[in-house]
Amino acid sequence: MTQRLAGKVAVITGATSGIGLATARLFAEHGATLFLNDLDRDNLTQVAAQLGARAIPGDISRMADLDALYDVVGTEAGGIDIVMANAGIAEFARVEDVTEELFDRIFSVNAKGTYFTVQKALPLLRSGAAVILTGSIAAVSGVPGMGVYTATKAAIHNYARGWTAELAPRGIRVNVVAPGIVDTPGLRVPGQTDNYDAMLDQMVSAVPLGRIGVPEDVAKVALFLASGDSGYLSGSVIFADGGMAQV
């Protein structure tokens, strides 16, 4: 197998489960030197040990934690070729039930955390680096109970457009992978676990390709965006959604 990321230094946030974990595994297979970040310290330590990666636990909504992350990367690697700003949270409430605390919590992690994950990486990003943001089909659709979450993902999609214009002189590319329905731990909403199979069957009916995604489906898109194969792509959103948002 050709290692498409050999010699590259990659930072992945939200790396202990779902899309982040699948991407970390795939990047490791393709030769990347990995620096992994997540709130879940114990799982992060285990994942990093399995992949031969460096674990730096932390909360992306806390500036001190991001500074600590990049201090380690800068000291140990000297520069970064790939940043995948993947960490995020999803909490659902109808518009009349959203509290200020819920609103602030989701925006603090998804919108603010993603923004500063990239901003604070800038001094270390090498010319030609790839920035990958994890968006969502929710950014372009209306879903009851997801108004705050969808707004944060729409912000992330627009970060890619603005940053593409700003960072192009350095040769830095910024793109979004926007998953559809993906079978991750985050999909198992508390209170619905007992009806999970029935819920999945209902979801599948909305996907043109006839199945929900798995984390590896999204990881393969991230690998494409991280590699030279996407060298003429920037400011783009690639929907890994089985066609759900396209028809």
Catalytic residue annotation? 149
- Residue pointed to by tokens 């202990």: 16
CA distance readout (Å), 92 to 6, 47, 79, 120, 177: 40, 28, 38, 29, 22
Q: In this structure, what are the phi and psi dihedrals at residue 243, rounded to the nearest 5 degrees? A: 90, 5
Alpha-helix residue ranges (DSSP H) falling in 6-53: 18-29, 41-51
Compute the CA torsion angle 122, 164, 180, 190 (nearest 10 deg): 40
Strand, coil or helix: what is 245? coil
Q: Copy the structure tokens of residue 59.
A: 């909360």
Q: Can you say how many angstroms the Cα of residue 231 is from the centroid of all Cα atoms in its chain?
A: 20
Place of tokens 């830095």: 172
Q: Are 195 and 28 in contact (CB under 8 A)?
A: no
